[in-house]
């Protein structure tokens, strides 16, 4: 990457300033730059260059001192929270935040898992890449059952913007024509295994309202000319994703939006710049810029711009807003409603069932497909809700064959046992839930009264708990998954719920805390992610969400962001910002 991109001190007033460089920030920078605006991206972490800094990529487990396990002393000192993430190991640990430097507190009797990725590209280097559009059922859910505030947008408002980001990012999937998850602009889907094809047919016969489809994912199965022009090529199904992908086969800031923004010549990046607060001018009712603290030497500096886009992650953006106080906004900038920090949500993942498949001893597969089978939410409107809880869940899973490593847990001796060690084991299939968490005022984040981090910024204090609705939903999901597998002929089926073992946050789909809304008295942002209170302040990451919905949120982060940029540029041209 051109070193001229990176700045430290600057007195320039930029047209646009984007805080954060993950999925939302990358898109905001690209869209502003391609519209001709001089744009500064402010990132609190270090620079990560595509390909060059993927230091764990292409290394086998045997090339690591502890076979991919992170040294226990290092975990104890730096990664007590981050170690809980599925993607955390010795080949990826450098992409995770250091818990020692990034403390936060939780309300007594509660817990929250805050996964951090503070570097250029943010969590776009680590995400699991499942990509689904919200339907009108998702946008209408709060209004339909009276829980939470009404989303100020509907599917028609985002449809064209979904298409816009999908064509650039590259989403593989099938045209399934389902009301609860609208079709995207698709590249070809990944292939099924033979057991999955058979189960798909059985489920279609036994449960016609629960179609099993191939999971939609931001991987290039058949790159277009646009993708190839980005320097991206076909997914190799290596399961190297969270190490960074030199093929650019999955969507990330580094592989896709950042090169597009840099190509325009309109982009500058201020790395290692921890945003302390926003600089607010009460006379003009505008945010003039940001105050940052150097990540390394703790010196302070300021950057200025005509419009500010907060894309620092749900909790990151809210922490910045809460710490930006003034006479007009003593409880956090743009918080005249008093709801800033409230309505924190995450997906609930804590239920499922699995079992053994018989009759496929001669079936094999190659590669490590980066997506799974997916049964979309079949309780997607109030008429379909179960009587004892509201909203619904999706089920995801896949068939796989255990390999020779599984035999190390078996008893045996002699030639026959040695022969078993060379053979593949049994086939298995599981279904695992992803459910919606209801928006609740009492689930909130605030600034700790006395504790600060090493940059002198007040720590976030988190109070977030599952409700009875989530508990009942997961109990039902476990029963439903088990019932489906048993009726489809899967053997030795067992089910589980783990809500008591896993606190919110570990789904890494945290949303809410600076929500959109039609009414300025109960929301922070309008339908275009623009602050109700301050015209040149926009927040387009997950903090803007009014509900979690059931599907994964990242594709909607992208669509909301590009729509907000389009609106902001028009407002700037009309001299209203």
Task: Say what the pLDDT of residue 492 is.
Answer: 97
- Asked if residue 117 has pLDDT above 70, the reply is yes
What is the chain's mean pLDDT, rounded? 96
pLDDT digits (tens, 9 = 90+) for 68-96: 999 999 999 999 999 999 999 999 999 99
pLDDT tens for each residue of 247-303: 999 999 999 999 999 999 999 999 999 999 999 999 999 999 999 999 999 999 999
Give the 3-state secondary structure of residue 523. Answer: coil
Q: Please give the Cα distance from 251 to 300 (Å, whole number).
A: 33
Average pLDDT over residues 29-57: 97
Q: Which of 341, 523, 532 is nearest to 332 (CA)?
A: 341
Q: Is the pLDDT of residue 206 over 80?
A: yes
Q: What is the reported pLDDT for 411?
A: 80
Tell me: the pLDDT tens digits for 321-356? 999 999 999 999 999 999 999 999 999 999 999 999
Q: How far is CA 142 from CA 136, 209, 469, in A?
A: 11, 23, 15
Q: Cα(246)–Cα(232) distance, rounded to whole angstroms?
A: 8
Q: Give the pLDDT confidence score for residue 84 in this predicted structure.
A: 96
The answer to whether 351 touches 497, Cβ cutoff 8 Å, is yes
Mean pLDDT for 372-394 is 97
Over the stretch 507-525, which tens digit does the pLDDT of each residue have? 999 999 999 999 999 999 9
Strand partners, 270: 42
With contact defined as beta carbons under 8 Å apart, do 127 and 554 qualify?
yes
Rounded CA separation 320/514 (Å): 11
For residue 144, give the 3-state DSSP assignment: helix
Nearest Cα to Cα of residue 20 among 230, 245, 253, 218: 253
Instruction: Give tens-digit pLDDT for 533-569.
Output: 999 999 999 999 999 999 999 999 999 999 999 999 9
C-alpha to C-alpha distance for 533 and 521, rounded to whole angstroms = 10
DSSP three-state, residue 348: strand
For the stretch 433-492, pLDDT in tens is 999 999 999 999 999 999 999 999 999 999 999 999 999 999 999 999 999 999 999 999
Q: What is the pLDDT of residues 561-577, one digit of tens each?
A: 999 999 999 999 999 99
401-430 average pLDDT score: 79
Distant-in-sequence, close-in-space partners of 407: CB < 8 Å, separation ≥ 6: 417, 420, 421, 425
> In the prediction, which pLDDT does 407 show?
65
pLDDT for residue 409: 67
Q: For the chain, which residues make up each domain, given as ranges?
A: 1-47+99-170+252-347+509-577, 188-250+349-435+466-503
pTM: 0.96
CA torsion, points 28, 29, 34, 38, in degrees to nearest 10? 130
> Residue 3: pLDDT above 60?
no
β pairing state of 393-397 and 373-375: antiparallel
Question: What local confidence, expressed as pLDDT, does residue 366 receive?
Answer: 77
The answer to whether 287 and 280 have CB atoms below 8 angstroms apart is yes
Q: Which CATH superfamily is domain 1-47+99-170+252-347+509-577 in?
A: FAD/NAD(P)-binding domain (3.50.50.60)
pLDDT band (50, 70, 90) for residue 364 = confident
> Tokens 């320097």 correspond to what residue?
231
Query: For the chain, what percent of residues have pLDDT higher than 70?
Result: 98
């Amino acid at each position: 990457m051109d070193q001229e991109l990176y700045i430290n001190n600057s007195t320039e007033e930029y047209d646009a300033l984007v805080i954060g460089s993950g999925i939302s920030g990358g898109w905001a920078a690209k869209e502003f730059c391609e519209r001709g605006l001089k744009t500064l991206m402010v990132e609190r972490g270090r620079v990560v260059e595509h390909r060059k800094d993927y230091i764990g990529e292409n290394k086998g487990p045997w090339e690591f001192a502890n076979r991919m396990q992170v040294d226990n002393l290092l975990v104890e000192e730096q990664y007590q929270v981050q170690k809980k993430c599925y993607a955390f190991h010795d080949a990826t640990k450098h992409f995770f935040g250091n818990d020692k430097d990034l403390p936060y507190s939780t309300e007594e009797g509660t817990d929250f898992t805050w996964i951090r990725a503070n570097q250029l590209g943010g969590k776009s280097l680590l995400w699991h890449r499942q990509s689904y559009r919200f339907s009108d059922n998702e946008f209408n859910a709060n209004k339909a059952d009276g829980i939470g505030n009404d989303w100020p947008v509907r599917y028609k408002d985002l449809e064209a913007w979904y298409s816009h980001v999908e064509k650039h990012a590259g989403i593989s999937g099938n045209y399934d024509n389902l009301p609860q998850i609208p079709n995207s602009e698709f590249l070809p889907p990944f292939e099924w295994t033979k057991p999955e094809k058979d189960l798909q047919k059985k489920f279609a016969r036994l449960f016609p309202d629960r179609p099993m489809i191939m999971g939609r994912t931001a991987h290039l199965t058949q790159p277009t000319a646009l993708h190839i022009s980005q320097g991206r090529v076909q997914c190799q199904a290596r399961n190297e994703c969270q190490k960074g992908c030199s093929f650019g086969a999955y969507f990330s800031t580094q592989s896709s939006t950042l090169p597009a923004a840099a190509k325009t010549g309109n982009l500058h990046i201020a790395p290692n710049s921890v945003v302390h607060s926003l600089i607010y001018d009460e006379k003009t009712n505008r945010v003039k810029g940001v105050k940052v603290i150097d990540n390394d030497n703790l010196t302070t500096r300021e950057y200025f711009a005509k419009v500010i886009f907060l894309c620092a992650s749900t909790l990151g953006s809210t922490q910045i807003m809460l710490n930006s106080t003034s006479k007009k906004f003593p409880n956090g900038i743009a918080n005249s409603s008093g709801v800033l920090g409230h309505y924190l949500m995450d997906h609930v993942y804590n239920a499922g069932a699995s079992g053994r498949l018989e009759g496929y001893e001669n079936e094999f597969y190659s590669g490590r497909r980066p997506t799974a089978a997916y049964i979309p939410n079949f309780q997607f409107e109030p008429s379909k809700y179960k009587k004892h809880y509201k909203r619904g869940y999706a089920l995801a899973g896949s068939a796989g064959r255990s390999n020779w490593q599984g035999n190390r847990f078996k008893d045996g001796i002699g030639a026959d046992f040695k022969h078993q060690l060379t053979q593949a084991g049994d086939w298995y299939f599981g279904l695992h839930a992803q459910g919606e968490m209801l928006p609740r005022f009492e689930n909130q984040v605030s600034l700790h009264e006395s504790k600060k981090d090493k940059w002198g910024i007040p720590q976030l204090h988190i109070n977030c708990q599952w409700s009875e609705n989530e508990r009942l939903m997961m109990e039902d999901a476990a029963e439903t998954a088990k019932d489906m597998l048993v009726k489809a002929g899967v053997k030795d089926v067992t089910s589980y719920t783990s809500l008591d073992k896993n606190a919110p946050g570990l789904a890494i789909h945290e949303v809410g805390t600076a929500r959109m809304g039609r009414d300025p008295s109960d929301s922070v942002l309008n339908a275009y992610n623009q602050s109700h209170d301050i015209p040149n302040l926009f927040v387009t990451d997950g903090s803007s969400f009014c509900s979690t919905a059931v599907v994964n949120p990242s594709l909607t982060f992208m669509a909301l962001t590009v729509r907000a940029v389009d609106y902001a540029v028009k407002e700037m041209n009309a001299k209203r910002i």
